[in-house]
Structure 1
Amino acid sequence: MTHSAAGARHAPEHARPAPDPRRWAALALICLAQFMLILDVTVVNVALPDMAADLDLGRETLTWVVTSYTLCFGGLMLLGGRLADALGARRTLLAGLALFTAASLITGLADGAPVLLGGRIAQGTGAALLSPSALSIVTTTFHGAERNKALGVWAAVGGSGAAVGVLLGGALTDGPGWQWIFYVNVPVGLLVLAAVPALVAARAPQPARLDVPGALLVTGGTGALIYGLVEAGDSGWAAPATLVPLAGAALAYALFTVAERAGRAPLMDLRMFTRRPVLAGAFLMLTATALLIAFFFLGSVYLQHLRGFSPLRTGLFFLPVAVATGAGAHLGSRLVGRIGSRPTAVAGMAIAAAGTVPLTRLPDAGGVYTAVLPGFAVASLGIGAVFVTATTTALAMVEHHEAGLASGVVNTFHEVGGSIGVAVVSTVAASGIERGTADGFTDAFTTCAVAAALGAAVALGLVPRGKPQTTGGPHVH
Structure 2
Amino acid sequence: MTGRAEPNGPLRVWTLILASIGSFVAALDVVVVATALPALREDLGASLFDLEWTINAYNLAFACLMLTGAAIGDRIGRRRTYAAGLLVFAAASIGAALSQSGTELIVARVIQGAGAAAVLPLTLALISDAFPYEKRGAAIGLWGGVTGLGVSSGPVFGGAIIEGISWQWIFWINVPIGATVAVLSQWKLRESYGPRPQLDLPGLGLVGLAMFGLTWAPVRAPRIGWGSAEVIGSLLLGVALVVAFLAWERRATYPMVPLAYFRSREFTTANGVIFFQFMSLIGAVFLLTQLFQVGMGYGPFDAGLRTLAFFATPVVAAPIAGLLADRFGNKPFMVIGLSMQGLGLLWLTALVEPGVGYPTLVAPLVFAGVGTAMCFPTVANAVTSAVPVADTGVAAGTNNALREVGGVFGVAVLAAVFADNGGGYASAANFIDGFQPAMYIGAAMAGVGVVWAALAPSSSAAEAGRQALARRDAGLVGSRR
Q: How does 1:142-153 map to 2 (within 5 A)?
A: 153=142
Give 1:27 deviation, angstroms. Answer: 5.5
Task: Structure 1: give runs of 5+ residues left out of the alignment.
Answer: 1-7
Q: 1:56 to 1:286 in 2, by over 3 A?
A: farther
Q: Compute the TM-score of the two structures, normalised by the length of structure 1.
A: 0.81
Q: Identity over the aligned pairs, expressed in percent?
A: 31
Match in the other structure for 2:440: 446
Give 1:338 deviation, angstroms. Answer: 7.5
Q: 1:365 to 1:407 in 2, by over 3 A?
A: same
Give 1:315 deviation, angstroms. Answer: 1.4
Match in the other structure for 1:271: 260
Give 1:162 deviation, angstroms. Answer: 2.0
Residue type of the partner of 1:464? P
Quote the Cα distance in structure 1 between the aligned partners of 2:456 and 2:292.
36
Residue type of the partner of 1:311? P
Quote the Cα distance in structure 1 between the aligned partners of 2:248 and 2:306.
46
Of 268-277 and 329-338, deviating more is 329-338
Give 1:126 deviation, angstroms. Answer: 0.7
Give 1:210 deviation, angstroms. Answer: 1.9
Give 1:40 deviation, angstroms. Answer: 1.7
Native 8 Å contact 1:82 1:209 kept in 2 = no
Quote the Cα distance in structure 2 between the aligned partners of 1:342 and 1:144.
16
Of 397-406 and 177-186, deviating more is 397-406
Native 8 Å contact 1:290 1:417 kept in 2 = yes
Q: The residue matched to 1:429 in structure 2 has which SS?
A: helix
Native 8 Å contact 1:347 1:382 kept in 2 = yes
Quote the Cα distance in structure 2 between the aligned partners of 1:23 and 1:401.
17
Match in the other structure for 1:191: 180
Match in the other structure for 2:104: 115
Of 221-230 and 146-155, deviating more is 146-155
- 2:423 aligned to which of 432, 438, 443: 432
Quote the Cα distance in structure 1 between the aligned partners of 2:269 and 2:171.
35
Match in the other structure for 1:4: none
Match in the other structure for 2:163: 174
- 2:279 aligned to which of 281, 287, 290: 290
**Cα deviation 1:402-455 (Å, max 9, x = unaligned):** 656544432332333323322332333346356563123223212202212233
Q: 1:93 to 1:215 in 2, by over 3 A?
A: same
Q: How does 1:64-463 map to 2 (within 5 A)?
A: 64-138=53-127, 153-200=142-189, 208-329=197-318, 332-333=321-322, 341-360=330-349, 365-396=354-385, 405-430=394-419, 432-433=423-424, 437-438=430-431, 439-460=433-454, 462-463=455-456
- 2:22 aligned to which of 17, 28, 33: 33
Q: 1:328 to 1:16 in 2, by over 3 A?
A: closer
Give 1:321 deviation, angstroms. Answer: 0.8
Quote the Cα distance in structure 2 between the aligned partners of 1:200 and 1:364.
51
**Cα deviation 1:146-165 (Å, max 9, x = unaligned):** 98876665444334322233
Give 1:239 deviation, angstroms. Answer: 2.5
Residue type of the partner of 1:443? P
Q: 1:21 to 1:361 in 2, by over 3 A?
A: closer
Q: 1:404 to 1:229 in 2, by over 3 A?
A: closer
Q: The residue matched to 2:297 in structure 1 has which SS?
A: coil
Give 1:133 deviation, angstroms. Answer: 4.5
Match in the other structure for 2:478: none
Residue type of the partner of 2:373? G
Native 8 Å contact 1:63 1:423 kept in 2 = no
Native 8 Å contact 1:325 1:384 kept in 2 = yes
Q: The residue matched to 2:211 in structure 1 has which SS?
A: helix
* Residues matched between the structures, number: 459
Of 443-452 and 228-237, deviating more is 228-237
Give 1:284 deviation, angstroms. Answer: 1.1
Quote the Cα distance in structure 2 between the aligned partners of 1:27 and 1:332.
17
Q: Compute the TM-score of the two structures, normalised by the length of structure 2.
A: 0.80
